[in-house]
Amino acid sequence: MTQPKTIGIVGARGHTGQELIRLVAAHPGLELAFVSSRELDGQRVADHNDGFAGELRFESLDADAVAAKGADAVILALPNGKAAPFVAATDGAKPDTVIVDLSADYRFDAGWYYGLPELTRAQYAGQRRISNPGCYATAMQLAIAPLVEHLAGPPQCFGVSGYSGAGTTPSDKNDAALLADNLMPYALTNHVHEREVSKQLSLPVEFMPHVAPHFRGITMTVNLWLSAPMSRDAVKALYEARYADEPLVEVIDDAPWVSRIAGRHGAQIGAFTMAPGNGRVVVVATLDNLLKGAATQAMQNLNLALGFDELTSIPH
């Protein structure tokens, strides 16, 4: 029997880290070698995660300690701006380690593969450094990509996320009391995901993010001006053709609801509502920001890099 590939998670205390632990635990070809968390140092992983069994404990590991573990793959689930020391240490100790970085730190680095499999899989050529897309950015790109060749101007994207997207460090954006009966706009121009999507799709995109009182899930409502009028059927057919072979992207007729995507590993795209004259269409995409927006996508990328079927351990 082939030896399982070893994997470590850095930043495992966060919401995404917990989802990653579940996905790795369910994977027949992966073994969780270490989980690093300063706050949970010494505590059993199984006491904090219902998807994991065993005696493995959280450790507080700096970059050199992570590199010294010599794992086959490392997932960095850290806040923006924290990845570089871990990448540098791993480059020095074991450069063939697969690193999947969930932060924005390498999304603009041409030396890294940008892993949104449904759109960039053909560009994967064995790279060991993989940048995981942002959650909002995944929803935007899936909603816009089939129409890129037919657009007359920048897509306008109104995004709403559950507060788990704001992480576990206390802030206004994850304060349940402040969010109650509220919708909180923020970073209304030049958001990092606006820049990310504009770069990936090679067209300017306008994005206005908001946080809502629900815990998980993103709704992305996208307004698209067309270069020539199209029928609703023709628009929807472009999406159905683009995602026909993608088990994690479901094209539906109605506008999808975030309550129906929470806890699921894929995305839904629907609505396809035409304005009078058929020169403008509104498309709605939903996904779980912790899953297809983060952990599920990281597992797709890991499977691709380590030679497994892309959907191994991902319910679909």
Cα pseudo-dihedral 231, 233, 238, 240, rounded to 10: 160
Spatial separation of the C-alpha atoms in residues 51 and 128, rounded to whole Å: 27
Spatial separation of the C-alpha atoms in residues 40 and 44, rounded to whole Å: 9
3-state DSSP call for residue 253? coil
Judge whether 7 and 72 are in contact, CB under 8 Å. yes
Long-range contacts of 115-120 (CB under 8 A, 24+ apart): 115/297, 115/300, 115/301, 115/304, 116/141, 116/142, 116/200, 116/297, 117/297, 117/300, 117/301, 117/304, 117/310, 118/142, 118/243, 118/246, 118/248, 118/249, 119/145, 119/200, 120/200
The DSSP secondary-structure symbol of 133 reads: P
Judge whether 164 and 135 are in contact, CB under 8 Å. no
Judge whether 163 and 176 are in contact, CB under 8 Å. yes
What are the DSSP E strand ranges found in 102-161? Answer: 113-114, 129-131, 156-161
Catalytic residue among 33, 98, 135, 184: 135
Annotation says 157 is catalytic: no
Judge whether 116 and 293 are in contact, CB under 8 Å. no
Spatial separation of the C-alpha atoms in residues 59 and 39, rounded to whole Å: 9
Q: Is 284 exposed, middle or buried (0-12, 13-18, 19+ CB in 10 A)?
A: buried
Q: Residue 238 — left, alpha, or beta (φ > 0 → left; ψ -120 to 50 → alpha)?
A: alpha
- Active site positions, annotated: 135
